[in-house]
Structure formats: structure tokens, C-alpha cells
């Protein structure tokens, strides 16, 4: 009997070791910072010329570089601030997507700039020029954005009106930020294709991209995240934060999104008790709503802001 248990124990040990190895690999793939912005998906390659025209605008527009924790290289966060010449005392704070950076939001920056807004574009932890080894998928970033808002008010004055905007992970970041004690100067939020929770998004991607089950991988990745970043994935969600939100919010989501499934937009919408609008762009894929029809996108955003900003 003892020999048979030993024989049985060897493969179980091997399976456990293999599962732990795979979970660590999955964590590194999903959470570890990358040196360069990954190439965009094939369906968005057709927008490349338009995208780089916006990037060119971003690189040449007069701007300032702002910092948080400037003299601590392990905690330093970096942002670009663009002052609108009309000085209308309104600023949009823009949150970028997963493994992106502030430059990848150039199209949205120009859209809001053309609408008369100053623009503040931070690089999140473990992205772009900001410090950090691991991506927090918005949860720790929400507190950084609160610090950016406070810095903005200190620099521009207490009479500045603030709009929060984000796409993909950035959308979820703003949804998570919405449940915090925001300054009264924050007037409205726009969240484009944000996920309902980090855990739900991970489970979805495990199945769709890696053909792996939730168990045992999600609990193990969550435990690794607890060790590295201080929280279990199931302990945080956009929906929980949105339930505490008091700011008007516009949700935007592509109807053909297969990266952050559209049902998450409905979950986030239902979780919100504040004034809210939901716009499903029927034929758009993930983070494509702007590119699919830029003029319609601007009109919808403008209509929301006329009502609530």
C-alpha cells in the first residue's frame, strides 16, 4: 500500500509542479511589464495611417511633462499635460489601455483638445516611462489617478472642471476610480470597453485565448498576484466600485468585442446607480468604436457632455 501511494504521489507532484509553473508563466505573460507596445490586432491595421497622423500631432503639440514621486526611480510616474490656448478651465484625464502608453491615446487627446479641453495623459504603473514591474489592471492605478487629479488641481486651481476618460484597461481604471472619494471638480466619466472585473476578464481570456479552465489556474494566478501586488483578483471589481459612483457616466462598447465581451458593459451599466448612458457600437470590435466612426463618436461624447459636464 505504501509503495502504491508513493507511485501515485510522484505523478501528482509532477502535475502540481507543472500547474504552478504554468500559473507563473501566465502571470508573467499577463502582468509583467513589456518594453514595447505590442502590435495592434489585424482588424485595426487599416487605421494605421490615421493613428500615426494623431501620433505626429501629439509629438509636435506644445506640452509639459509632469511627475509623481519624481525623485524616487522605483515609484516615479510620468504624464504629459497639454494646455489648451483658450484657457477654458476644463481638463480631461485620459487613461490608456493594456500594455499601451500615453502616446497611444493621441487620437482621443486631439478629439478633446479640439473640443476645448486641456489634456492630462499619464503612463500607468509598469507602462511607458513610469516605473513599476507589474501591471495592476487598474486597481492600484486608480489611486495614482487620484493623485494626478490632486496635482492637476494644485497646478491649475480649484476652479478647474475635470472629465475622466479611459479605454479598455483605461476604461476599467476609471470605473474603479469612480468609487473613490473624488474631488467635487470631477464632473463626469466616460469608460470605453472596460471590463467588469479583473477576475472575470482573466477567466474569459484563459478560456478564449489559452483554452484553459478556470480551476486551478485563476486561483493560482490570483495567489501569485496577492504575493506580488497585495490583492487577490476576486477582491476587486469595476462593478463594486461603480455601485459607489455618484458621477454621471457614459459607457461605450463595441458590439463585436471578443476581447472584453459586450456583456461586461451591461453588467457595469446595471451596477451603476448614478446618471448613466450606454452606447453599443454595433459593428465595432475591441477599442474600435472611435476608429469605426470618429465623427459619430465625437457627437455621442459631445451630447453626453452637454447634458452632464
Q: Could you read off the pLDDT tens digit of each residue along the chain, which spans 309 residues?
A: 334 334 445 477 877 888 999 999 999 999 999 999 998 888 889 999 999 999 999 999 999 999 999 999 999 999 999 999 999 999 999 999 999 999 999 999 999 999 999 999 999 999 999 999 999 999 999 999 999 999 999 999 999 999 999 999 999 999 999 999 999 999 999 999 999 999 999 999 999 999 999 999 999 999 999 999 999 999 999 999 999 999 999 999 999 999 999 999 999 999 999 999 999 999 999 999 999 999 999 999 999 999 999
Cross-strand partners of 134: 32
The Cα-based distances of 112 to 11, 78, 120 in angstroms read 58, 20, 11
| Contact between 278 and 269 (Cβ < 8 Å) | yes
Note the pTM of the prediction, 2 decimals.
Answer: 0.95
Domain 42-197+236-308 sits in CATH 3.20.20.70: no
| Contact between 64 and 73 (Cβ < 8 Å) | no
The Cα-based distances of 135 to 46, 59, 103 in angstroms read 28, 25, 18
Task: Give the 3-state secondary structure of residue 134.
Answer: strand
Q: Would you tell me how many other CB atoms lie within 10 Å of the CB of residue 151?
A: 17
Amino acid at each position: 500500500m505504501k509503495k502504491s501511494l508513493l507511485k501515485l504521489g510522484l505523478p501528482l507532484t509532477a502535475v502540481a509542479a507543472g500547474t504552478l509553473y504554468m500559473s507563473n508563466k501566465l502571470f508573467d505573460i499577463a502582468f509583467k511589464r513589456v518594453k514595447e507596445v505590442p502590435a495592434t490586432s489585424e482588424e485595426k491595421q487599416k487605421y494605421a495611417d490615421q493613428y500615426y497622423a494623431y501620433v505626429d500631432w501629439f509629438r509636435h503639440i506644445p506640452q509639459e511633462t509632469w511627475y509623481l514621486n519624481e525623485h524616487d526611480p522605483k515609484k516615479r510616474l510620468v504624464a504629459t499635460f497639454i494646455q489648451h490656448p483658450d484657457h477654458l478651465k476644463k481638463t480631461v484625464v485620459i487613461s490608456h489601455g493594456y500594455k499601451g502608453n500615453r502616446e497611444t491615446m493621441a487620437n482621443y487627446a486631439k478629439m478633446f483638445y479640439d473640443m476645448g479641453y486641456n489634456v492630462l495623459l499619464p503612463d500607468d504603473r509598469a507602462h511607458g516611462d513610469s516605473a513599476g514591474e507589474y501591471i495592476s489592471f487598474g486597481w492600484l492605478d486608480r489611486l495614482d489617478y487620484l493623485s494626478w487629479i490632486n496635482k492637476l488641481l494644485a497646478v491649475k486651481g480649484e476652479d478647474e472642471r475635470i472629465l475622466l476618460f479611459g479605454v479598455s484597461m483605461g476604461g476599467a481604471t476609471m470605473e474603479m476610480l469612480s468609487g473613490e472619494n473624488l474631488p467635487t471638480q470631477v464632473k463626469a466619466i466616460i469608460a470605453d470597453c472596460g471590463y467588469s472585473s479583473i477576475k472575470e476578464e482573466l477567466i474569459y481570456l484563459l478560456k478564449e485565448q489559452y483554452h484553459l479552465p478556470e480551476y486551478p489556474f485563476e486561483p493560482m494566478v490570483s495567489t501569485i498576484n496577492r504575493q506580488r501586488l497585495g490583492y487577490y483578483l476576486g477582491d476587486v471589481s469595476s462593478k463594486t466600485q461603480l455601485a459607489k459612483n455618484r458621477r454621471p457616466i457614459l459607457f461605450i462598447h463595441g458590439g463585436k468585442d471578443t476581447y472584453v465581451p459586450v456583456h461586461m458593459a451591461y453588467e457595469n451599466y446595471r451596477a451603476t446607480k448614478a446618471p448613466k448612458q450606454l452606447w453599443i457600437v454595433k459593428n465595432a470590435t475591441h477599442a474600435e468604436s472611435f476608429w469605426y466612426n470618429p465623427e459619430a463618436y465625437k457627437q455621442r461624447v459631445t451630447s453626453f457632455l452637454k447634458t452632464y459636464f
